A and B are shown apart, each in its own frame.
Chain A
Amino acid sequence: MQEKPASEGSRPGINDDIGEEKRLELYRLQVEIRESEQRAFDLFLQNLVKGTSHLSLGQEAVAAGFAAAMKPGDLSFCTYRGHAHTLARGVPIEKVLGELMQRDNGLMRGKGGSMHLTSAEHGVMGSYAIVGAHLPIACGAALRAQYRGDSDVSVCFFGDGTTNIGAFHEALNFAAVWKLPVIFVCENNLYMEYTPIGEVTAVEHPAGDRASAYGLERIVIDGNDADVVYRAAASAYDKARAGGGPSLIECMTYRHSGHSRADPAKYRPEGELDRWKERDPIELYRERLRQFGIADDAVAAIDADVRRRVDEATERCKAAPSPPLDLLTTDVYADGGFAWRN
């Protein structure tokens, strides 16, 4: 969790390794996720978001930090808690909200839903609702990169609960043995779903304390500080691109809401949420921007711009039609249809 010292610059810290432009991007991404997720929650209360949804309120810095350090062509593999990682790759808010609202303007026109957000053109290679499934899949994408000599990195996000399923172990070993350019990012928000991860896990840090089993470095970072996340991500990507193999990074964070929309999170001890809100990643980052001398009006302009875009996206989604009924049977097979016989 260490900060690197600022490098030379006219103002203290302003031209450090991250710099003003990247910091504003990190801030904008976090605000965009916060506002979009909060809107998703509000729309759920209005019964406009159907099915389920798993929000990343409070976990914005992880998505922002890892995405901001990516290069175009890098691939993201997300879980059902994937709205944040999808937005962070530049997918339009309208496309995400539209999918949550099961409208024809959604990312997958309503065929996938909240838990399966996918935007191949943005490098979002799917959101996976079976815990652990996407870790081996990310290995496969990385195997392709290694085989072809492509320079992209595959980044796989998952929760603390994932570390106790078999696919986690299989994928980590597989990636380590073959030195694949894949980054495993554990968002440890302290709860697997409703149960504290510590109650069901043999080690304190479910990812970090297991890294040595795969010959990997133990990396546990402050997942609420976007600068820390950004630096850890950049370092892991550089290593992967240089042929140094996978990294496993555990980001300590906290979700402000329940596991899913059905969960009021009453199992949390009194005061825990308040303590974590004192380390709210967005509040923390506003303070960081001030420390680095970034003007308040630049920050306010981002806030206003994001709110306007979320509002506009919401209105477009409300006006969007449901998907056409003939979508029911499309794209089961590559010929576009669902024919299983002649």
Chain B
Amino acid sequence: MAELTYRDAVARGIAQEMTRDPDVIFFGEDVAKAGGVFKTTVGLYEQFGGKRVRDCPISEQAILGAAMGAAMTGLKPIAEIMFSDFFAVCFDYIANEFAKSRYMSNGQLKCPLVVRTANGAGSRFGAQHSQSVENWAMMIPGLKVVAPSTPRDVIGLLAAAVRDPDPVIFFEHKSLYPMKGEVPDGEIVDRLGTAAIVRGGTDATILALALMVPRALEAAGKLKAEHGIDCEVVDVRSLVPLDTRTILGSVGRTHRLFTVEENPRLCGWGAEIVSIVADEAFYDLDGPPVRITTPHIPLPAADILEDIALPTVDRIVERVRRSMAG
């Protein structure tokens, strides 16, 4: 067991898979010699060499297209898109190409690739370098979508993503990169499609993803200590496949549902889950499901504005308390 940052876990996860399988290659912008703009891939170039760890031009379409072509013909590429906002300039590959080629070819083509990207706010980068865009990927049939919240999950879910036969979009949260966590020694391999109950509770279920998980946990601590409300916190981890069994099981015990989403309000992942719960567990609910999200706005750069845009611990506490009191 060692303490590792989320940032260092990325490099360890990639190294684990590259060591295991010579078909795994890794490329992106500034990822090799520079070790990544977020220093998430330091040491990989030195360890595996320039044939397997490559710096690309600023050509997001070429990066994802090349990952697809390599995957179709037998490799297991990991491609990095520096900021998830840049999906917008290479969205054809995500939406039209590697998501659909298996279906359109009636199973002849496969695309076992991983697209890693730095997602989310907190760095005061403004509206084009801060978004949470998991729903851009979640809505597309053919993709799998994961977003880890801990260093251990980074390694385990990345390994699962690399070994998965389908294209996986892997959202790392840039504000989690400096966060530390306990990581066991040796190989770590997790499973896609599994949520994790990260705090047990009896009064309400709070679902959260990525950066919102530590905030939900802190809020749950305050709700218990200050208001006597005992919340269960579920780290959704994987949006596709979605672990509805764990989610519905938790709601079935607590009878209340809250989602904490960093994305702007409309069509966030929580909306889909709330609709599933309303459809399949309506009579388990003792009150209306509540979504706690960023408002329907582009993100501002100023720290004081960005801080109040995202769901804060205080906002989560207040929203849950008010709803439970009502």
> B67, B107, B164, B243: which contacts A336 (Cβ < 8 A)?
B107
- Contact A136 B106, CB 8 Å, known A128-B97, A170-B59, A334-B165: no
B74–A144 touching, CB < 8 Å: yes
> Which residues of B sit under 8 angstroms from A332, Cβ to Cβ?
102-103, 141-142
Q: How far is the CB of B171 from chain A (nearest CB, A)?
A: 17
The reply on B109 being an interface residue by CB < 8 A is: yes
Contacts of A300 in B (CB 8 A): none
B61 proximity list for chain A (CB < 8 A): 136, 166-167, 170-171
> How close is A78's CB to chain B, nearest CB, in angstroms?
13
Q: How far is the CA of A167 from the CA of B62 in the complex (A)?
A: 7
Asked if B106 and A144 sit within 8 Å, CB to CB, the answer is: no
Which of chain A's residues has its CB closest to B144's CB?
A333
Q: How far is the CA of A178 from the CA of B62 in the complex (A)?
A: 12
Q: Which of these, B70, B110, B193, B242, contacts A140 with CB under 8 Å? A: B70
Does A135 interact with chain B (Cβ within 8 Å)? Answer: yes
Is A108 a contact partner of B105 (Cβ separation < 8 A)? yes
Give the residue of B64, B75, B92, B104 whose beta carbon is less than 8 angstroms from that of A147.
B75
B73 close to A171 (CB less than 8 A): no
Please measure, in the bound complex, the distance between the C-alpha atom of A109 and the C-alpha atom of B59, giving whole angstroms.
Answer: 35
Contact of B104 among A75, A116, A327, A338 (CB under 8 A): A116
A residues 298-342 touching B (CB-CB < 8 Å):
327, 330-334, 336, 338-342
Is B66 a contact of A136 with CB atoms below 8 Å?
yes
Interface centre among A139, A173, A178 (most CB of B within 10 A): A139
Establish whether residues A135 and B193, one from each chain, have CB atoms under 8 Å apart when the complex forms: no
Count of residues in A whose CB is under 8 Å from the partner chain: 51
In the assembled complex, the Cα of A278 lies from the Cα of B276 at a distance in Å of 64
Partner of B73, one of A108, A141, A177: A141
Instruction: Say yes or no for A224: interface residue by CB 8 A criterion.
Output: no
Which residue of chain A has the shortest Cβ distance to B101 in the bound complex?
A126
A253 in the interface, Cβ–Cβ < 8 Å? Answer: no
Q: Please state if B65 and A140 are interface contacts (CB–CB under 8 Å).
A: yes
**CB atoms of B62 and A174 under 8 A apart:** yes
CB of B37 to closest CB in A, whole Å: 20
Q: Report if A130 contacts B (CB, 8 A).
A: yes
Could you tell me the distance between the alpha carbons of A112 and B93 in the complex, rounded to whole angstroms? 17
| B96 close to A140 (CB less than 8 A) | no
Smallest CB separation, A125 vs chain B (Å): 6
In this complex, what residue of A is CB-closest to B165?
A334
Q: Which A positions have Cβ atoms within 8 angstroms of B?
A: 75, 107-109, 111-112, 116, 118-121, 125-126, 128, 130, 133-145, 147-148, 154, 166-167, 170-171, 173-174, 177-178, 327, 330-334, 336, 338-342
